[in-house]
Amino acid sequence: MTAAAVRLDDRFYVTAAIDYVNGSPHLGHAYEKVACDVLARHHALRGREVRLTVGSDEHSQSVERAAAERGMTPEAFIAVQSELFIDLFRRLDIGFTAYVHTSADGNRRTTERVMRELHDRGHLYKGPYRAWFCPACEQFYTEKQLVDGCCPIHGTPVEWVEEENWFFRLSSFQQPLLEHFEANADFLTPEARRNEILNVIRGGLDDISVSRGFSHWGFPLPFDPTQVVYVWFDALLAYVTGIGFPDDEVGFTRFWPADVHVIGKDITRFHAIMWPAMLMAAGLPLPRRVHAHGFITLGGQKMSKTRGVFVDPGSMVEQFGSDAVRYVLMAEIPFDRDGDFSMEVFVDRYNADLANDYGNLVSRTEKMVARYRGGRVPAGGPAEPIDGELRALAEEVVPAVDAAVADLDLSGALAHARRLVGRANKYIEETAPWKLAAAGDARLGTVLRNLLEAIRVSTVLLAPVVPRAAAAVAADLGLELDADLTDDAAAWYALTEDAPVRVGEILFPRLDREQVLAGS
């Protein structure tokens, strides 16, 4: 089993975590998938061929039990539940290129291929297993790891399991993993997660059970049909299934290894220890990066439907639009740590950044171009130092946004884009186009042209986060947002002189704070 390990800069592959579907999608799911979509869209705008894989983790015991409680088969239950996730992702404009059902035939072929490969290479062996098992996270724990006799993560009761299982020789990959971490400083980010996992690896790795005999819900092992594959093994393999493994060798070779796996911090060990060891054992390249984001709290409290601490992302999209939800999540929640969300924060950030700044800049400029220049891109005229300041800032923020995205600092990338929007709004007040028009000043054309250019550049920068608004503005200005705009993004006067400029609808109507909060 081989795959090209040469970096191909004309492609980009990002994956989101494969979600359990025993519950309903929540704000954390929305946040993670929007972030992955922003990365994908950013790289697509830079001319790269992009793939984004999402999916549902379906062979868990929690899914089987939830189905039984509803009197349904696991297959029927999954069909209903996965549609809830797919519907939310579509409403959030998540442009995934693959949705992998881990229980589907495609992932079964992947699983059978890899499990047989590991078996034939001597990385699996059969032996007795005795441990405490948590059905919620599908993980085994020692007595010392339990907290008051319960799962240390979920706080729920665990079950004692004794049976013959197949084991993966994870312990034999301790040194190779350490060497990989040492040679690749950004393999796992942020730094806190990297240090945590390095401590785990240095403390010694135990072989892990990769099959189950007490359940029939799963893929049978190709070399031992009395056992089914451990859910985490077939879930992790969804990342290669999503780009065609094992059937599409050309597609797989082009897009593997992944540029980044985006996951929640609670599943870091699976992705930064077990997954790379699996790939090493199978002879496949490792992903270039695993990024573990933090959790979202609501008003300082952990989300909980039973306690009423819950925001339905679908309802938010319905009320405020997908762009608004996408933008506020990316702007407010840092991508490397926990962050807090509240409706107060949502309204304030929306009004400040989208209604007052970007939306207002677009609306004012388009209306002035219509009023003073007949809805046409004016020619440039006499220039002053203040014009150069706006242009210089545009040339500065484009590479700054690129660098921030490369660092997976998505809120930082938006902060750079906001600098240009804010400076353009200030430029309006400083130049007062209405006064120039009244005086018949030739500088009016220069000012309006500069404002249109500032809108063009900021729209390119914001497009991955607010794709609907960006598409509307692009249509107003006659831009194509599906082309490689990196080299030309900061090029001043890229708009064609005398090209039509439409006055579009208001992008982000200002929200009444009291009214929104009263209804939340």
**What's 52-79 look like in SS3?**
EEEEEECCCHHHHHHHHHCCCCHHHHHH
Query: Are 77 and 210 found together in one domain?
Result: yes
Rounded CA-CA distance 80/84 in Å is 7
What confidence tens digit (pLDDT) does each residue in 234-267 have? 999 999 999 999 999 999 999 999 999 999 999 9
337 in a structural domain? no
Exactly one of 126, 216, 302, 367 is catalytic; name it. 302
Contacts of 443 (CB under 8 A, 6+ apart): 381, 382, 384, 431, 436
Q: Which residues partner with 132 through β-bridges?
A: 141, 160
Q: Give phi and psi for 394, each to the nearest 5.
A: -60, -45
Confidence band of 305 (pLDDT split at 50, 70, 90): low
What confidence tens digit (pLDDT) does each residue in 106-156 have? 999 999 999 999 999 999 999 988 778 787 776 777 777 888 889 887 788
Supply the DSSP string of 153-195, one letter for each residue.
Answer: TT--B-EEEEEEEEEE-GGGGHHHHHHHHHH-TTSEESHHHHH
Query: Are 164 and 25 found together in one domain?
Result: yes
Q: Which of 211, 243, 217, 203 is nearest to 98 (CA)?
A: 243
Exactly one of 126, 216, 305, 426 is catalytic; name it. 305
SS (H, E, C) 214-232: CCCCCCEECCEEEEEECHH
Exactly one of 29, 43, 261, 291 is catalytic; name it. 29
Which CATH number covers residue 53? 3.40.50.620
225 in a structural domain? yes
Query: Are 185 and 275 found together in one domain?
Result: yes
Range(s) of the domain holding residue 394:
345-519
Residue 142 has a pLDDT of 74
Token digits of residue 21: 């579907």
Query: Are 289 and 349 found together in one domain?
Result: no
429 in a structural domain? yes
Residue 422 has a pLDDT of 98
66 in a structural domain? yes
Active site residue 150: no
Query: Are 265 and 383 found together in one domain?
Result: no
Supply the DSSP string of 237-262, one letter for each residue.
Answer: THHHHTTTTTT-HHHHHHHPSPSEEE
Query: Are 178 and 90 found together in one domain?
Result: yes
Active site residue 180: no
> Which one of 293, 318, 336 terminates a domain?
293
Exactly one of 123, 137, 271, 293 is catalytic; name it. 137
Q: What is the mean predicted confidence (pLDDT) over 487-507?
A: 86
Residue 5 has a pLDDT of 36
Residue 498 has a pLDDT of 95
Count up the domains in the chain and report the number: 2
Query: Are 385 and 506 found together in one domain?
Result: yes
Confidence band of 488 (pLDDT split at 50, 70, 90): low
Which CATH number covers residue 427? 1.10.730.10
Exactly one of 42, 59, 123, 151 is catalytic; name it. 151
Active site residue 134: yes
Exactly one of 59, 134, 261, 293 is catalytic; name it. 134
261 in a structural domain? yes
pLDDT at 1 > cutoff 50: no
What confidence tens digit (pLDDT) does each residue in 353-395 have? 999 999 999 999 999 999 999 999 999 888 899 999 999 999 9
139 in a structural domain? yes
482 in a structural domain? yes
Query: What pTM was computed for the model?
Result: 0.93
pLDDT at 198 > cutoff 70: yes
Query: Are 273 and 402 found together in one domain?
Result: no
Q: What is the mean predicted confidence (pLDDT) over 451-476?
A: 96
313 in a structural domain? no
Question: Which helix (H) or strand (E) segment is 27 a member of?
Answer: helix 27-45
> Which one of 230, 263, 293 terminates a domain?
293
> Which one of 273, 293, 313 terminates a domain?
293
Exactly one of 119, 150, 154, 265 is catalytic; name it. 154
Query: Are 375 and 452 found together in one domain?
Result: yes
Residue 6 has a pLDDT of 34
Neighbours of 201 (CB within 10 A): 19
Question: Which helix (H) or strand (E) segment is 309 a member of?
Answer: none
Query: Are 120 and 213 found together in one domain?
Result: yes
Active site residue 43: no
Active site residue 26: yes
Active site residue 293: no
Residue 483 has a pLDDT of 56
